[in-house]
Structure 1
Amino acid sequence: LHNESLYKYFINNEQTSGHQSLIFGLRELNSTEIFQFCLENSSIINPSITNQPFYFTSNYELRIYTSACYYLDKNNQWKSDELIVGSLTNHYQIQCFSNHLTSFAGGFIILPAPINWNYVFTNADFMKNKTVYLTIIFVSIIYIILMIYARFNDKKDIEKLGVTPLLDNYKLDQYFYQILVFTGQRINAGTESKVHFILSGDNDETHIKTKKTKKLIFRSLGLLNYIRIWHDNSGKGSSASWFLKYIIVTDLQTMEKFHFISQRWFAVEKDDGFIERILSVASEMEKRAFFYILSKKAYHSVSDGYLWFSIFSRPP
């Protein structure tokens, strides 16, 4: 068919008002029916409806679409009252008739063409679809490798679970703190240098401690004031420097938390060149600072909420 106006049947919304569904049938007219119903002087325009099977002698395409006209009412809701979809509507444009002027919009729903499964399976051999099959095989291999990598790292995480006391802790200590160190998510943010720190409180301060794990236990210090932290720059190449985000120290008896915010490099070749800093306990205003909250929330949302990001965003 070259003329889309042929064999076109339009039903406007006045005819469909109050109906939940529409049922229609399609068949090809035989030569007798064409003579009876398609001549210009024929007074009969509706062929008979029967339950007998009919066969098509030619290939046809059937396009079904729905369209509607809407306006925005005073409550900012889309309504279609008193709007009529015109007969010039097709799958390219909508014709709307209205007795008032306001903000208008139109909507289309064009049903997708059905999948020809016979054609799909007939042309599904490897030689005709090399690119598709190779892409699927490649993606599957990458997925399997990532699953193995993720499982391997999960086992390593399980091995790291728990609290590791420092070797120089006193066996008679009865009061404990836990320290969590957060390395920044930046290129070469982790370090292989030996990190040392001194934690100071109202009652006492620790002697020099060496950080080798993320969870450390040491003796009672009282109310915490600051932490002095540095590294010996003994790592090789880019592994010598370190970007520290923040440290959280928890009193395991009262569960009170102390935040020490850094967001700085400990590197001789970056930032201000210092590898030693004194971090005071963060105030409530500092903990509510926009950039601190943003980086903390973004890190936890990405690292914990997304499967593959959580793999590659593991702390060093």
Structure 2
Amino acid sequence: MSYRRSQDFYISSMIQFNCDGSLSTTTKWTVKNCTSISCSFEIVLNEKVMTTFSELYIPSRTLDYGVYQLTLTVTMIDLPNLKSSSSVYVRITATGITANLVQLGTSMITRGNQQDLLLDPGTFSVDPDEDTFDATKWKYTYYCRIYGLYNFPNIQGILLSIGDSTIDPYNPSCLSSRSGNGTGWIFGNLTLSPNSSLTVLGGSLQENQIYQFMVYMENRKNSSIQATGYVLVTVEVTHPQLIAVGCVISTMCVPNLEFQLLNPTTQVALFTLCIGTCTNLQSIKWSIYQ
């Protein structure tokens, strides 16, 4: 059996007796970590995990990645030498992170043409397998295009990242400083988690345009573990506050690259955060567009 580390799981058992006399028993679950050779190292479980029932409930994030042997031993109380055991093997796998460029995984934001734009997947991404996201475990590559007019700059299908001096004549760069002098953007956290944030400086984006930014994240230890995140940025000749939108129950909004998936037969509750100085809010209005 296989479970994600972010999943709770439950193992039940069926105990059948073929004997006369007292049927009073004790039950005990043990969990051992397995290697390619054997399952010999017993795991000390959290005291909240009840191991003396015929069923075993394992909360999410209890076990690390790997293969485990879960063994139930049933012992007759009157005849303690009479016991029987049965095992099941469980593999704990990674859930996969959600790459968020802005707070709450908001899909579209509005910024002023003279405002700096902070994209910070190292802070805002989510790892369901952990309590917090560890930005140091990932490599970050950013891409940008003018949404609706051009594709992401590429050469024969190979994407050109922000900062790449190569020019795609058919899909121009978002930033005028593409030559590599770095005046249009700043990468952050260069020591602990290089490039885990990107600041696009005010004046680098054209007003009355919609830009799409993409981040590609690759695990430093295992390049096959990857994630991609997107955000649309509308640029106006104003100085708006940054509004982030999220789901009250996050599991009801499933990220699907550029959008959030919702069940059309289920209610959904959204909430907002106003990022920055938002003390003079006069009204809040929600609109729905198809």
TM-score range, shorter chain: under 0.3
Rg bigger for which structure?
1
| More helix as a share of residues | 1
**So what's the TM-score if we normalise by structure 1?**
0.19
Q: Which has the higher strand share?
A: 2
TM-score normalised by the chain length of structure 2: 0.20
